[in-house]
Amino acid sequence: MFTTVNEDGILNNYAPQVAVYTAEYPAVWEQRRYALQGAFATVFVGLMIVIAFSVSSLG
């Protein structure tokens, strides 16, 4: 960690610099896996909404 002290004696801490890299476009099998995960997440969230509405209407 990089620390400096100004003329008033106040410390300034700076976060370390991380290496910058470019992302690569996902492969076809990764895209399919992401689509499958998105489908499961959509079904799960939809199911949770249906359950919440059905439970809230019971009261």
pLDDT tens sequence across 4-57 = 777 887 777 776 778 999 999 999 999 999 999 999 999 999 999 999 999 988
- Domain for residue 10, yes or no? no
Q: For the chain, what is the domain count?
A: 1
- Domain for residue 38, yes or no? yes
Q: What is the pLDDT of residue 53?
A: 92
- Domain for residue 11, yes or no? no
Residue 41 structural domain: 24-59
14: how many CB neighbours lie within 10 A of its CB? 9
Q: Residue 25 — left, alpha, or beta (φ > 0 → left; ψ -120 to 50 → alpha)?
A: beta
Q: How far is CA 47 from CA 8, 23, 35, 44, 54, in A?
A: 59, 34, 18, 5, 11
pTM higher than 0.85, yes or no? Answer: no
Q: What is the pLDDT of residue 59?
A: 61
- Domain for residue 15, yes or no? no
Q: Strand pairing partners for 11?
A: 5
Q: How far is CA 31 from CA 15, 26, 39, in A?
A: 34, 6, 12
Q: What is the pLDDT of residue 35?
A: 98
Q: What is the pLDDT of residue 1?
A: 59
